[in-house]
Structure 1
Amino acid sequence: MKLTGQDLMRLLPAVHGIRDAAAGGPLEALLDVLGEQAGIVEDNILQLYEDQFIETSSTWAVPYIGDLIGYLPIQSINGAFYSPRAEVANTIGYRRRKGTAIALEQVCSDVSGRPVHLAERFKTTFTLQSMRCITPSQPAFAPVRSQRTMERIGTAFDSVSHRADVRRISPRLRAVATPDMDAVDIALHGGGQFNLPNIALHLWRCRSFLVEKAPVLRVDDGRYTFDLAGLDIPLFSAPTLRTPFDHITTRMDVPQPISLREVQTSADDFYGETKSLYVWIDGVAVDPQHIAWKRLSGDEGRWCAGVPGRVTVDVQCGRIALAPEWGSPSEVLVRFAYGFAADIGGGAYDRSVQLTADTIAGEFLAIVGSPLTPTVEDAVALWNAQPEGTTGSIVFVNYARIDCEEALQIRIPAGSALTILAATAHSANGVSSGFTGAQSQVTLAADLLVTGEASASNVNTGRLALNGLRLLGSIAVGGEAIGLSANHCTVLPDPARLHAAGAEGPREPSFTVLSAGTSLTMERTLTGPLAVVDSATVMLCEVLLDAGSPCCIAYAGAEPSQQGGDLQVENSTVIGKVRTRTMPLASNTIFRARLARNDSWPAAVWCGRTQTGCVRFCSLPFASITPRRYQCLPTSLVNEGALSPMFVSLRYGHPAYGLLATRTPLAVWHGADDGGQIGVMHGIQESEAVQNMQLRIPEFLPAGMEAGVFLVTPTACCEGPRRHPHYGVRVVPEDCCENGASDEGVSGIGIRLL
């Protein structure tokens, strides 16, 4: 109860109230302050009682309550279905099941926020059986006739018996150096896996994103791709929510690519209106008996023939082939899931937090596909006709692929603000109730020419914001200065190279900023190189800036020989060389760059002014010309090679694009300012998730058992062989380095001796 000054005045003799009113009420004002403070004390006393219970206690009291039951605090993981408060509350429930496989698996899944599968390797370790205790479930020979079982050998769900491996499964004892050059795998598990005391805990690194009723891209008659950019992408399984402590994790509970063999043998597990995959042709659902599962990709990306009379689906490459009997449908819709490690680049995940009230607010609203603006050209023309000072949005609804024959020319007058975004429209009783950022992405094959315009009556610069777009083209900014932002976007300028599985090699700039004073801000975006004049500024946060090769130019001026504008970059990964005027701040960022043969640049990362700025907790070439560094890698030229970050893949379209490989040095894995990994995947908190698991495993591991953590990384099933069929020769891709230092080259026995 809060007491006011009048309440306290009533407790005093009336004469004091009369005299105080005559004097202007100074006593009542004092009593107001005292009443306010008394209310704070009263609330605090009530909260002290609430703090005795984990359900109602303050956040600061949770560790103290946990300490009473021996709870060890862990790091909070974004997006996890748990919180430290919930874990303390469930500690008794966990400990009642201590020593069981399902308890250890559930705890590891809860504290990591990721699917975890526990494999009791002593069950698949070959041993001589006693006739008094025969174990029929442990065969002595591998069932080679079961192709699905043979396909799972070496995976988390390997059920074939193996010979005992005397190497330990737990992480080896080692002397930790500073900086730590050992690979991540060494700190997670040992060299062995199959032995009697061994338990393997497999942690999935990528997530599956379910796409609901999206159109497909027509390649030619009867041939389509699931991806609207024409990429060959593996289709993932989409696991559903599980009841805790219900069962040990199975194949259908984890997000990983669907193999051709398992969908052929168990199509009902994957194909269905509520499953991971479904197809509609002209609004009619395709029955399972009309679906054929076959690989449709041949050598060098060629198409193979489909099954006659059926709708042929290739789950490894994301392709569809219709038999001639199906005719030429006007619409083909699909439900499918793709895989990626983070909420970056736009897609099926929810971006509603980014769509604030002022994002779509304003007097101008054009919905592409509506009767007023049926095409994107009409929407842009309608915006260009608006007076200066207008605020509004151009909205692409749901999923779409739009091809423009000519570049889109967009005017941004002074004081105007335009947002171009992909969103899902909602309505109630026929009235629009707003937009959300889930289940929406537009693939726009066009170039954007943005022109800023000055005004004598308005001194505020114009603003252009992009959200949820995948642009197969480039963006050029000219004219007067504007503010340009790109959130949750993908901007890659070369569709032909994308169709070739994101081939390596030089790329044209995705953003070209020629207007002085323009500010470019990018967040959670995948992009190609940036060409920015030195009088502009750029801010990158959680951005993967990929020039196609470490020796290509990722960031420079309007001309490759000129320096770019001021660059501030955080929690990002830059593939390619960088030349900037100044670098006010670089934090938790990987610069994977190097000089080519006869390169005119003095360093792969080159700042024109080194007196200002700071580079902290970054990985960059040791010879880089930068401002003062703090806790950066490598620490010397000698250990530069040993501390280089390794990636699973740097090909756009791969599920593990930009993800650090497990052979990455631990110094990079824990090199960020908060102990997480450096680079664009810093936000997924993978390092913290593994640390939480390693903290909980000893508490719930049965006595006498050992455990190791194995990271499950998806592979791109559709990538063709990169080796030439003749021995000793490899295909050498186009590369910027031109110094024989490419990863490709001649192979053969003894080649390293040459």
Structure 2
Amino acid sequence: MSTVTTDTRTDRLYQLLPAIYRLRDAEQGYPLQALLRVIAEQVNLIEDDIGRLCDNAFIETAEDWAVPYIGDLIGYRPVADTAAEQESGALNRVLVPRREVANTIRYRRRKGALSLLEVLAGDVAGWPARAVEFFKLLGWHQNLDHRHMERARTCDLRNVEALELLDGPFDRLAHSVDVRRIDSARSRGRYNIPSVGVFVWRLKTYTVSHTPAYCMENAGPHCCTFSVLGQDAPLFTRPEPETEPTHIAEAINLPVPVRRLAFERDKALFYGENRSFAIWAEGWAGLDGSSPVPVEQIIAADLSDWRYAPPANHIALDPLLGRFAFPPGQLPKKGVRVAYRYGFSGDLGGGEYSRTLYDPPTLKAAAADSAQAVAPSFYRVGSGQAYARIGEALQQWTQDRPRRAVIELTDSGVYVEPVAIELAPEQSLQLRAANRARPVIRLLDWQTDLPDALSVGMAAGSRLTLDGLLVTGRAVRITGRAGDTASASGVESCGAEVVIRHCTLVPGWALDCDCEPKRPAEPSLELYGVRAKVRIEHSILGSVQINQDEVRSDPLPLEISDSILDATAPDKEAIGAPGYAVAHAVLNIKRSTVFGMVDVHAIGLAENCVFNDCVNVARRQLGCMRFCYVPPRCRTPRRYHCQPDLAVQAAQEDLAAGPARDAAVAGELLRLRPQFTSRRYGSPGYGQLAVSCAEEIKRGAEDESEMGAFHDLFQPQREANLRARLEEYSPAGMDVGLIFAT
């Protein structure tokens, strides 16, 4: 007699039968149960659909596709100049924000209030904001019957803080009248009676928790930086929530860099545990290291040249550069740890943000007659875990030799050790960070006669995943097994794969204090004879060098999405091959930004990308590039809706051949050149398209979002949505302008 497992939901109808019928059904091999399971499946679908209909009647529980319909019932007006309405997905959540639809009636009741403009920026675009009435900053003569002593202050050259805030969102000085409109599409003004400015911050703040500081030995053993890479990086505030809905945001409520004068005036507001930043120094000045250095022992200072020497038992701290210094004669006896916040555009590279972890699947036992399942093996490394170092976990993994394994780094520590991995055929290994952790693997010059990269040996059918790591000091070198002549199609069929997701392989290996790479000519990822599919997602990498046998093997499949590739200079290869004209690889790249040349065998598909420098492919007959920026005179496959092709074509059609058309084409090429807030990794605005960048780039993707690595932030749609709402809810007779603070 066969047995059938019981499932409460699928057997709900079967359980309603009298027991006598279930007994007889069991005697016949459960045919009635199988029939009722098919009927119950359809009943469950209908019941779930009815339940969703009830949920979709409320804005809090409605599905994404139903939010626009609820908005239509209350007269919510979507933005007119965005892409066509989407029925689901991330873009729909940007075009029709659920929170804005829910609060539409409340917004209408508060129309005209200045604080509402800040609320709109947060609800509509997800950007923190500060609203400023510029008529309060106009120079005027005080009226004895209507005095405003806090307004119209003339410039005092001795007031350093007021000068530091000049023309910013917290400006307090008086200005002369600017007759230009603040919402003008051309040249915008600010200081006029009807002008209201809404300053928005596009950069987010990310935490780094209890991680080792970096000792700047070239400046002195007492000099340290918060960043483990040693570069100057401003410390950002931990935004405090506003207590009242009518409150106008101050600096402590916004993700802004901490100023020196503000830190000096109120150090306890920024420094300490669960504050913006803190320092732990075990054994220094009699401290036990269980709590941060007391705020009374912290001195605000300008450490731009490292000349300031703090007195005994005190630490000098410069929040603008992310530096701090001990007294030269009182160095820390043990390690120094820090916690701080830095600014960046989105969830990219290694960082302490929430991301999805993918555990290897549970497999059946190797024996054909065994039904026992084999779960993946886990080796956890970190403080309080079974293994303190990566090498210890790798040694145990080598002894156990499980088919599926995960080595998880549970904290944001720095692991200074050589890492060498050898995978057996059909073996899988994940080396990953725990969720909301950012471990750093710092590779040094361990051997004088051999390279010291993070080395991985691949075999046929093996799988490697690097997830959530920051690797500095050397490259990641992945090598295929000698004699493995499987073709690329064979590799894909057997599942051999290399995945790098949410990782940072520091461009140029390491950084100077000004974010310049120390080894700009060195690659971050080296692939030697790898017979596997290589996939890179949501990562920041330096140069990728591919060394493949062009005669005995097919091109390496290389897929890149939502990432930044940085060769550190326009004349260096972002993707290439040492000693060869092109890398023997077929590239598929989506929503990525590339700094440096791309020299590959072929491009299968490139879409919504920014290729800042030259692209050269050997086989132009394969593949397609669509909705990308590609510099002129590049050897590429066929292009569709790419820039500057469209702009140049329009200029050539408008003018006849001659000097005028040549000048117009040259002007369009210069205007459409992508502009970035910063091109140096380590700075807060790295890879972010500048406000002055051409609209054809900022809205050049297929869904009218921006090209490049931050496509999925949908910032053009957010901006358009916010501008429409500001115009709708602005006070009567006022002109509201949107100003990007970052």
Alignment match, 1:98: 111
Counterpart of 1:306 (choices 291, 300, 309) is: 309
Q: Who is 1:336 aligned against?
A: 340
The count of residues paired between Structure 1 and Structure 2 equals 656
Partner of 1:16: none
CA shift, 1:67, in A, is: 1.6
CA change 1:79–1:128 in 2 (3 A) is farther
1:491 matched residue in structure 2 = 505
Q: Matches of 1:3 and 1:488 in 2, distance apart?
A: 43
Give 1:581 shift: 0.8
The 1-side partners of 2:538 and 2:48 are apart by 42
State how far apart, in whole Å, the 1-side matches of 2:564 and 2:59 are. Answer: 41
Contact 1:422 1:469 in 2 (8 A): no
Which residue matches 1:71? Answer: 76
1:285 aligns with one of 287, 292, 309: 292
Instruction: Say whether residues 1:154 and 2:158 are aligned partners.
Output: no
8 A Cα contact 2:480 2:529, kept in partner: yes
Q: Could you tell which deviates more after superposition, 668-677 or 246-255?
A: 246-255
**Other-structure match for 2:642:** 632
Q: Report how far residue 393 of structure 1 moved.
A: 2.7
User: Residue in 2 aligned with 1:419?
Assistant: 430
Letter in 1 for 2:351: G
Q: Judging changes above 3 Å, is the alpha-carbon distance between structure 1 residues 511 and 162 closer, same or farther for their aligned structure 2 residues?
A: same
Q: Indicate whether 1:660 and 2:660 are aligned.
A: no
| Distance in 1 separating the partners of 2:388 and 2:274 | 32
Contact 1:123/1:138 (<8 A) preserved: yes
> Aligned equivalents of 2:158 and 2:525: distance in 1?
54
SS in 2 for 1:565: strand
1:611-649 deviations in Å (ceiling 9; x for gaps): 221111100112221112111100136432221100111
Structure 1 Cα separation of the partners of residues 134 and 546 of structure 2: 55
Q: Corresponding residue for 1:588?
A: 608
Matched with 2:715 is: 686
Residue 280 (structure 1) shift: 2.0
Distance in 1 between residues matched to 2:44 and 2:712, nearest whole Å = 41
| Aligned partner letter, 1:234 | P
Going from structure 1 to structure 2, the CA distance change for 1:160 and 1:610 (only over 3 Å counts) comes to same
Secondary structure of 2:342's partner? strand
5+ long unaligned stretches in structure 1: 11-19, 173-185, 424-436, 594-603, 714-754
Could you say what secondary structure the match of 2:124 adopts? helix
CA shift for structure 1 position 165: 0.3
Matched with 2:595 is 575
Residue equivalent to 1:257: 257
The answer as to whether partners of 2:507 and 2:567 remain within 8 angstroms in 1 is: no
Amino acid at match of 1:212: S
TM superposition shift of 1:73 = 3.2
* Same amino acid, percent of matched pairs: 31
- In the TM superposition, residue 243 of structure 1 has moved relative to its aligned partner by 5.0
Shift of 1:570: 0.9
Instruction: Identify the residue that residue 228 of structure 1 maps to in structure 2.
Output: 228
- Give the Cα separation in 2 of the matches to 1:334 and 1:79: 40
Of 488, 499, 513, the residue aligned with 2:527 is 513
1:168 to 181, 201, 217: 181
Structure 2: which amino acid aligns with 1:313? Answer: L
2:132 aligned to 94, 114, 119, which one? 119
1:419-460 Cα deviation digits (max 9, x unpaired): 22233xxxxxxxxxxxxx113322422443535354xxxx63
> How far did residue 696 of structure 1 move?
0.7
The answer to whether 1:362 aligns with 2:376 is: yes
What secondary structure does 1:399 align onto? coil
Q: Which residue of 1 aligns with 2:366?
A: none
In the TM superposition, what whole-angstrom CA distance separates every residue of 1:205-242 from its partner, at most 9, and x where no partner exists?
A: 21111222222123343222211122221111111344
Of 629-638 and 570-579, more deviation after overlay is shown by: 629-638
Match 1:408 to one of 419, 426, 430: 419
Q: Does residue 1:529 correspond to 2:543, yes or no?
A: yes
| Secondary structure at the counterpart of residue 711 of structure 2 | helix
Counterpart amino acid of residue 96 in structure 1: R
Distance 1:505-1:623 versus aligned 2 partners, 3 A rule:
farther
Aligned-pair CA distance for 1:308? 1.6
Which residue among 623, 637, 640 is the counterpart of 2:633? 623
Residue 586 of structure 2 aligns to which amino acid in structure 1? D
CA–CA distance in structure 2, aligned partners of residues 403 and 28 of structure 1: 60
In structure 2, what is the Cα distance between the partners aligned to 1:224 and 1:270?
19
* Residue 450 (structure 1) aligned with residue 455 (structure 2): yes
Secondary structure at 1:149 match in 2? helix
Give 1:74-223 correspondences, 5 Å limit.
Answer: 84-172=97-185, 190-220=187-217, 221-223=221-223
1:472-487 matches, within 5 Å, as 472-480=473-481, 483-487=497-501
503-512 or 485-494, which deviates more: 503-512
CA distance in 1 between counterparts of 2:34 and 2:352 reads 56
Q: Is the 8 A contact 1:80 1:112 kept in 2?
A: no
2:69 is paired with a residue whose SS is helix
8 Å contact kept, 1:260–1:315: yes
Query: 1:538 maps to what in 2?
Result: 558
Deviation, structure 1 residue 196? 0.4
State the Cα distance separating 1:109 from its structure 2 match: 1.6
- Please report the RMSD computed on the Cα atoms of aligned residues, expressed in angstroms: 3.7
TM-fit CA distance, 1:689: 1.7
Instruction: Specify the code of the residue in structure 2 equivalent to 1:683.
Output: D
Tell which deviates more after alignment, 124-133 or 50-59: 50-59
- Kept in 2: contact 1:396–1:442 (CA 8 A): no
Matches within 5 A, 1:597-746: 604-635=614-645, 636=648, 638=666, 639-713=668-742
Assess, with a 3 A threshold, how the Cα gap between structure 1 residues 399 and 92 changes in structure 2: closer, same or farther.
same
Structure 1 distance, partners of 2:17, 2:296, is: 84
Q: Distance in 2 between matches of 1:209 and 1:25?
A: 57
Q: Distance in 2 between matches of 1:523 and 1:38?
A: 40
Secondary structure of the 2:209 match is strand
Asked if structure 1 preserves the Cα contact closer than 8 Å seen for 2:480 and 2:531, the reply is no
Does the 8 A contact of 1:634 with 1:640 survive in 2? Answer: yes
Distance 1:383 1:36 in 2: 44
Q: Contact between 1:556 and 1:562, CA under 8 Å: does it hold in 2?
A: yes
Q: Which has the higher contact order (CA 8 A, sep 6+)?
A: 1
Q: Does the C-alpha gap of structure 1 residues 160 and 88 become closer, same or farther in structure 2, counting only changes over 3 Å? A: same
Name the aligned partner's letter for residue 151 of structure 2. Q
Residue 46 of structure 1 and its aligned partner are, at CA, apart by 6.7
| 543 and 503 in structure 1: CA distance in 2 versus 1, 3 angstrom threshold | same
Q: Higher mean Cα deviation, 373-382 or 483-492? A: 373-382
CA deviation map 1:316-344 (0-9, x unaligned): 22222111564433132222111111111
Contact 2:278/2:340 (<8 A) preserved: yes
| Partner Cα distance (2:432, 2:168) in 1 | 40
Aligned position for 1:297: 304
Does the CA-based 8 Å contact 1:645-1:660 persist in structure 2?
A: yes
SS of alignment partner, residue 477 of structure 2? strand
In 1: Cα distance, 2:502 partner to 2:211 partner:
19
Is the 1:3–1:39 contact (alpha carbons within 8 Å) kept by the matching residues of 2? no
Q: Name whichever of 556-565 and 27-36 sits farther off.
A: 27-36
SS of the aligned residue for 2:707 comes to: coil
Report the CA distance shift for 1:160/1:256 in structure 2 as closer, same or farther (over 3 A): same
8 Å CA contact 1:422, 1:442 repeated in 2: no
**Contact in 1 for aligned 2:235/2:340 (Cα 8 Å):** yes
Name the SS for the 2:706 alignment partner.
coil
Distance in 1, matches of 2:421 and 2:267, equals 48
Structure 2 spans left out of the alignment, 5+ residues: 1-8, 19-24, 83-88, 283-288, 363-373, 445-451, 485-495, 549-554, 649-664
Question: Residue in 1 aligned with 2:466?
Answer: 465
In 2 relative to 1, CA 99–483 (structure 1 residues): closer, same or farther, beyond 3 Å? same
> 2:61 and 2:386 mapped to 1: Cα distance?
53
State how far apart, in whole Å, the 2-side matches of 1:464 and 1:2 are: 37
Partner of 1:62: 67
